[in-house]
Structure 1
Amino acid sequence: MFNLFKKASPIEKLQKKYEKLMKDWHALSTSNRAESDKKYAEAQEIQKQIEQLQQAQK
């Protein structure tokens, strides 16, 4: 109940964005290879940002 008012951390926001990009990448992989590659590259950049934030928290 109290999670309703909890704001998502930057890492959680990036993880949701990463998951969406990977889902889009998978959907496009069979129909539009160029767009699929762009989505995958974006997802990898997001993954790097997540890793950097996790390292900064330690």
Structure 2
Amino acid sequence: MFSFLKSDPIKKLDKEYGELLEKAMQAQRGGDIRLYSELTEKAEAVKVKLDDMKANS
């Protein structure tokens, strides 16, 4: 009945992925390559989860 109130986990992960990539880009532009690498690694882990969820849906 209230399924429209449930958040979509795929949308949540997609948003998180985009935010991590944006932060990574800003870190790279700022010259902080170590932070860029860490954020990119986290983004790739989120992307793997996102792809798995999309494949199972």
Query: Shared fold (TM-score greater than 0.5)?
Result: yes
Q: Where does structure 2 lack aligned partners over 5 or more consecutive residues?
A: none
Other-structure match for 1:16: 15
Count of aligned pairs between the two proteins:
53
Percent of aligned pairs with the same residue?
19
Other-structure match for 2:47: 47
Q: In the alignment, residue 36 of structure 1 is paired with which amino acid? A: Y
CA RMSD after TM alignment? 1.2
Q: Where does structure 1 lack aligned partners over 5 or more consecutive residues?
A: none
